[in-house]
């Protein structure tokens, strides 16, 4: 298993390197120049040339990429072109808001999705199963940004019960205790609901499919033949054996949820990494875009490796397959 882990790690490093390489060259070859954005349309050609030299953009692209890669590997992520602040500090300040949003969304979506999927599998073919299937497929297919806008329309403009933008109200500095907590929860409600509803759809579909396959196995028939109650068979036998594809999806959800959070944070003006990334792309802020892309690529690799570890933990058969057969 350690050998397999080492191979996956090497492959993951190659994936990250490939992603950042492709992103770097596409970003620099795309129309738009940060010096033009910084100086404005009234700047002269000489001023633009001087600004490009100051930013190091006048060097050949391979040399720029080699310099960036060397600095990034040493932990030097550079400074934001648009804001003049260190990229590491800029992303660190935004990451904690994104981390809270993603962590709560994962927890809620998988807990609720697990329950819904188990109910569907236990009541397969019933009207309840059909209703829940239509609902979960619809949620899973919805674009996150569109769902977010619909929630804003419903709860902010029509019902006027929840705020649509930001992480706190304008008077949050004057709030204390329960008032401060309530204000934060009200601002968290809509972006969290958007990510959670989409996640519930995918989790419920995976749980339902996995449990239906497990319920058709011979050992389930044996459990029923021994006189076990249906609820115990579903909860103690079928659910545990159906968790392998679910935990695999859980690991793979990390990068997907991060990507979805980019759009959701833009919709709700949530001060996380997604909003920072969108602003950086608009400003052609190369250091910020590259650092955020590298983090996203690392999340993809980490998600895959976490999925392997969780699958081996849940299902001993996976551990045996990864470890190889013992010599006779």
pLDDT in tens, 211-230: 787 777 777 777 777 777 77
Predicted pLDDT at 181: 83
In a domain, 49, yes or no: no
- Using alpha carbons only, give the angle 88, 93, 98 rounded to the nearest 5 degrees: 110
Q: Which two tokens stand for residue 181?
A: 């907590």
Name the nearest CA neighbour of 302 among 259, 244, 252, 248. Answer: 252
The string of DSSP letters for 74-122 reads TT---B-TTT-SBHHHHHHHHHHHHHHHHHHHHHHHHHHHHHHHHHHHH
Return d(Cα 249, Cα 175) in angstroms, integer. Answer: 40
Predicted pLDDT at 325: 43
How crowded is residue 148: how many other Cβ atoms within 10 Å of its Cβ? 26
In a domain, 68, yes or no: no
Predicted pLDDT at 43: 75
Predicted pLDDT at 190: 92
Domain count of the fold of the chain: 1
Return d(Cα 14, Cα 127) in angstroms, integer. Answer: 48
Name the nearest CA neighbour of 292 among 314, 319, 274. Answer: 274
Identify the CATH number of the domain in which residue 157 sits. 1.10.3720.10
Name the nearest CA neighbour of 193 among 158, 258, 149. Answer: 149
Task: Give 88-121 pLDDT, tens digit per residue.
Answer: 888 888 888 888 888 898 889 888 988 898 888 8
In a domain, 37, yes or no: no
Q: How many residues does the chain have?
A: 328
Predicted pLDDT at 151: 92
The string of DSSP letters for 227-256 reads T--HHHIIIIIIHHHTHHHHHHHHHHHHHH
In a domain, 99, yes or no: yes
- Residue ranges of the chain with pLDDT lower than 50? 324-328
How crowded is residue 147: how many other Cβ atoms within 10 Å of its Cβ? 19
Predicted pLDDT at 153: 92
Predicted pLDDT at 154: 92
In a domain, 276, yes or no: yes
Predicted pLDDT at 50: 83
How crowded is residue 52: how many other Cβ atoms within 10 Å of its Cβ? 16
- Using alpha carbons only, give the angle 8, 10, 16 rounded to the nearest 5 degrees: 100
Task: Give 168-180 pLDDT, tens digit per residue.
Answer: 877 777 777 788 8
Name the nearest CA neighbour of 91 among 277, 236, 224. Answer: 277
Return d(Cα 143, Cα 266) in angstroms, integer. Answer: 14
Task: Measure CA 231 to chain center.
Answer: 34
In a domain, 44, yes or no: no
Return d(Cα 74, Cα 37) in angstroms, integer. Answer: 29
pTM for the full predicted model: 0.75
Return d(Cα 137, Cα 132) in angstroms, integer. Answer: 8
Beta strand spans in the chain (E): none
Cα–Cα distances in Å, from 282 out to 32, 117, 165, 288?
9, 41, 20, 11
Domain enclosing residue 313, as ranges: 2-30+77-323
In a domain, 175, yes or no: yes
């Amino acid at each position: 298993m350690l050998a397999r882990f080492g191979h996956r790690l090497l492959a993951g490093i190659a994936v990250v390197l490939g992603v950042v390489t492709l992103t770097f060259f596409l970003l620099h070859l795309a129309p738009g120049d940060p010096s033009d954005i910084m100086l404005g349309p009234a700047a002269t050609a000489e001023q633009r040339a001087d600004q490009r030299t100051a930013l190091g953009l006048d060097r050949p692209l391979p040399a720029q990429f080699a310099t960036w890669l060397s600095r990034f590997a040493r932990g030097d992520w550079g400074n934001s072109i648009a804001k003049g602040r260190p990229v590491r500090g800029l992303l660190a300040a935004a990451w904690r808001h994104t981390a809270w949003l993603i962590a709560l969304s994962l927890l809620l979506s998988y807990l609720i999705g697990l329950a819904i999927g188990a109910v569907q599998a236990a009541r397969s073919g019933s009207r309840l199963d059909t209703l829940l299937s239509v609902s979960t497929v619809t949620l899973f297919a919805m674009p996150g940004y569109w769902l977010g806008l619909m929630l804003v329309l419903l709860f902010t403009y029509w019902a006027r019960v929840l705020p649509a933008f930001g992480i706190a109200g304008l008077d949050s500095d004057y709030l204390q205790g329960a008032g401060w907590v309530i204000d934060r929860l009200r601002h968290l409600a809509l972006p969290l609901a958007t990510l959670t509803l989409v996640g519930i759809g995918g989790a419920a579909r995976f749980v339902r499919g996995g449990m239906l396959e497990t319920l058709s196995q011979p050992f389930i028939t044996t459990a029923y033949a021994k006189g076990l109650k249906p609820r115990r068979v579903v909860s103690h036998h079928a659910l545990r054996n159906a968790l392998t594809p679910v935990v695999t999806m859980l690991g793979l959800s990390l990068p997907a949820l991060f990507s979805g959070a980019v759009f959701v944070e833009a919709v709700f003006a949530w001060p996380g990494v997604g909003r920072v990334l969108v602003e950086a792309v608009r400003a052609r802020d190369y250091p910020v875009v590259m650092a955020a892309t590298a983090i996203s690529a690392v999340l993809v690799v980490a998600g895959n490796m976490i999925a392997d570890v969780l699958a081996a933990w849940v299902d001993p058969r996976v551990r045996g397959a990864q470890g190889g057969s013992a010599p006779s």
